Amino acid sequence: MTIVKVSSVQFAYKPIKNFEDFASNVENLLDQAKGSHFIVFPETFTLELQYLIPNYNIGKIHEFTDQYIDLFKDLSKKKNQYIIAGSHLIQKNEKTYNRSFLFCPDGNHFKHDKTHLFPLEAKMGVTPGNNLEIFETDNVKVGIATCYEMEFPEVIRTLTLKGAEIIFSPSYTVDEHGFWRVRHCSQARAVENQIYVVHSCLVGTPPISDMMTGWGKASILSPCEEPWPSNGIIAEARVNEEMVVTGELDLKLLHKKRKRGTATTLNDRRPDLYKI
């Protein structure tokens, strides 16, 4: 596969009455990404399911895990698309993890537990994951870096050196400052690693508190070099609106530029110097 079509979903909180309302909206957004090989949803976008829980108890979100997995397994097979279904708070061995899932059309799925936790997550008792893996799908090597993970150069460097060509970043940032931290870092990671980054945002106000209102504009990012856009933005959503943005990523071009680009940052590293 040389040209990979990707879509980033900007998902907005909205009142729902049952799980079917949530599932129907998800499928509608996937319909807007028709023809894309990969679609990414935002971090913890299943928090919308708080509307179905008495007192909006976030500690009960994990009770929807089986329904969430069944939904996306079915949709991935039905639509013949790879779906990075954002992330979801799961419980395992009495511990809570912020887990991202990559669902495949053949019925398989991969998972990634967020390794670097935002301070608020740590205070909530979320447990960090300990693995940085890449996933091979149809000759495309992809990685997942959930929101705050993008702010650590070592995470994306590790995934890149393992062979990743595209990084999918489900994100939930509660104010404009937080959004720009993740967005600026995503663009830096794209440049320094000569890699594509697909950034998805959760926006809108949850039922529990307007202090947790999501702010964002989803994007598809490239290195800053011809023939890519000079600002490295292949596609970008409007601020805080639920929508889907789509773009095409040329993997052959990416590898060509890694070898003979204007700025070959991936090849020009000095590991010998860094050790000193």
Q: Which residues are known to be catalytic? A: 43, 114, 147
CA nearest to 46, candidates 111, 92, 105, 99 = 99
Q: Which two tokens stand for residue 109?
A: 């799925």
Q: Which two tokens stand for residue 224?
A: 């800053």
CA nearest to 189, candidates 256, 144, 136, 243 = 144
